[in-house]
C-alpha cells in the first residue's frame, strides 16, 4: 500500500489535475493506494473539490479549522497516513500545486523496495528538469543544498528541501516514537529539512531520483514567504549544529 499525504492550502484549482494524475499513475503501475488531503484552513473550495473527487478514488479529507502552516499540515498528514499502515507500506509526501509529477512515485516506491528508508525527488541529479522556477527560488534551493551538504553531509542526499519524498512507514513510526510531536517541529517550509536531519540522526538509508519540477503548471503565486523561510532555516542550522534540537 502507498499512502500519499497532500498538505493543501487554497489549491482548489490545482487539486483536480494533481489527483487525476495520481489516479492514472497508480492505476497504470497497478499500485494499491490511498490519498490523505490535509486542508490547512483554506479560504477557497479545496474541501468541496476533494469531497467531490472522493467518489472517484480513495481519498480521506482532514480539515484544519484555520491555517496552521506547512509543518502542522505535514504532521497531520503523516500521522493520519500511519494509522492502520503496515510496517512495509510506503508514505509519500508531495506538494498539492501540481508542480511535481506523480508518475515518479512508482520509481520512488521501487527505491524503497530495494532497501532505502527514504527516497527523495531531487533537483540535483542527472536527468532532473526544472521549468518555470524563478531565479531567486533556484538560488535559495541551491544555497540550501550547499549549506546543508557542508554542515550535515548525508550519503546520497543533495536535495534537502524538496518535499516530494517516499518514506518506509516503519521508519516514520520509529521517528514519531523517538521524537513525539517534535519530529515535525518547524511550522514553515523548513520542516522538510528538519525531518530529513532527524532521520539522518536515526541512520536512515536514503537515496534520490531525478525530479521533473513543473512550476509552469502552477496556479497563482507561491505561498512561501522568503524572508521568513530564510530566517527559519538559519535558526534550524544553528540549533542542529549546537545540538539543541
Distance (Å, whole) CA 91 – CA 99: 19
State how beta strands 90-93 and 206-210 pair: unpaired
Strand 33-40 and strand 59-64: pairing?
parallel
Distance of CA 230 to the CA centre of its chain: 19
Positive or negative torsion for Cα 217, 223, 226, 232:
negative
Res 216: pLDDT: 81
Instruction: Please state the CATH superfamily assignment of the domain spanning residues 2-241 in this structure.
Output: Spore Coat Polysaccharide Biosynthesis Protein SpsA; Chain A (3.90.550.10)
**Per-residue model confidence as pLDDT tens digits over 142-174:** 877 788 888 889 999 999 989 999 999 999 999
CA atoms of 156 and 84, how far apart (whole Å): 30
Residue 133 CA: distances (Å) to CA of 40, 141, 235: 24, 11, 25
Predicted local distance difference test score (pLDDT) of residue 143: 79
Task: Determine the pLDDT at residue 244.
Answer: 42
Q: Provide the pLDDT confidence category of residue 104 given band limits of 50, 70 and 90.
A: very high
- Give the domain ranges of the chain: 2-241
Q: List, for residues 220-233, the tens digit of each pLDDT value.
A: 555 545 555 565 66
What backbone phi and psi angles, to 5 degrees, belong to 157? -115, 125
pLDDT digits (tens, 9 = 90+) for 125-135: 999 999 888 77
46 Cβ contact partners less than 8 Å away, ≥ 6 residues apart: 8, 9, 10, 11, 12, 15, 37, 39
Tell me the mean pLDDT in the region 51-76. 95
Strand partners, 35: 4, 59
Alpha-carbon gap, residue 96 to 210, rounded angstroms: 19
pLDDT in tens, 6-38: 999 999 999 999 999 999 999 999 999 999 999
The answer to which of 28-37, 154-163, 189-198, 206-215 has the lowest mean pLDDT is 189-198
Q: Name the CA radius of gyration of the chain, rounded.
A: 17
Query: Which grid cell is 48?
Result: 468541496
Q: Taking all residues of the chain, what is their mean pLDDT, rounded to a whole number?
A: 89
Q: Is the pLDDT of residue 140 over 90?
A: no
Amino acid at each position: 500500500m502507498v499512502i500519499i499525504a497532500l498538505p493543501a492550502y487554497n489549491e482548489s484549482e490545482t487539486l483536480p489535475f494533481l489527483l487525476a494524475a495520481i489516479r492514472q499513475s497508480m492505476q497504470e503501475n497497478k499500485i494499491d493506494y490511498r490519498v490523505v488531503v490535509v486542508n490547512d484552513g483554506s479560504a477557497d473550495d479545496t474541501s468541496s473539490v476533494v469531497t467531490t473527487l472522493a467518489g472517484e478514488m480513495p481519498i480521506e479529507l482532514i480539515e484544519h479549522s484555520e491555517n496552521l502552516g506547512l509543518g502542522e499540515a505535514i504532521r497531520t498528514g503523516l500521522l493520519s497516513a500511519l494509522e492502520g499502515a503496515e510496517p512495509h507500506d510506503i508514505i509519500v509526501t508531495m506538494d498539492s500545486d501540481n508542480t511535481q509529477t506523480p508518475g515518479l512515485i512508482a520509481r520512488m516506491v521501487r527505491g524503497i523496495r530495494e532497501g532505502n528508508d527514504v527516497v527523495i525527488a531531487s533537483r540535483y541529479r542527472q536527468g532532473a528538469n526544472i521549468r518555470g522556477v524563478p531565479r531567486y527560488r533556484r538560488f535559495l534551493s541551491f544555497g540550501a543544498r550547499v549549506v546543508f551538504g557542508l554542515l550535515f553531509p548525508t550519503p546520497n542526499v543533495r536535495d534537502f528541501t524538496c518535499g516530494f519524498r517516499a518514506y518506509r512507514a516503519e521508519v516514520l513510526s520509529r521517528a514519531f516514537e523517538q521524537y513525539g510531536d517534535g519530529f515535525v517541529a518547524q511550522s514553515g517550509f523548513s520542516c522538510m529539512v528538519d525531518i530529513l536531519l532527524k532521520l539522518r540522526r536515526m541512520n536512515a538509508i536514503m537515496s534520490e531520483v531525478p525530479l521533473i519540477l513543473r512550476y509552469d503548471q502552477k496556479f497563482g503565486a507561491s505561498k512561501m514567504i522568503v524572508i521568513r523561510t530564510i530566517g527559519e532555516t538559519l535558526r534550524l542550522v544553528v540549533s542542529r549544529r549546537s545540538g539543541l534540537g
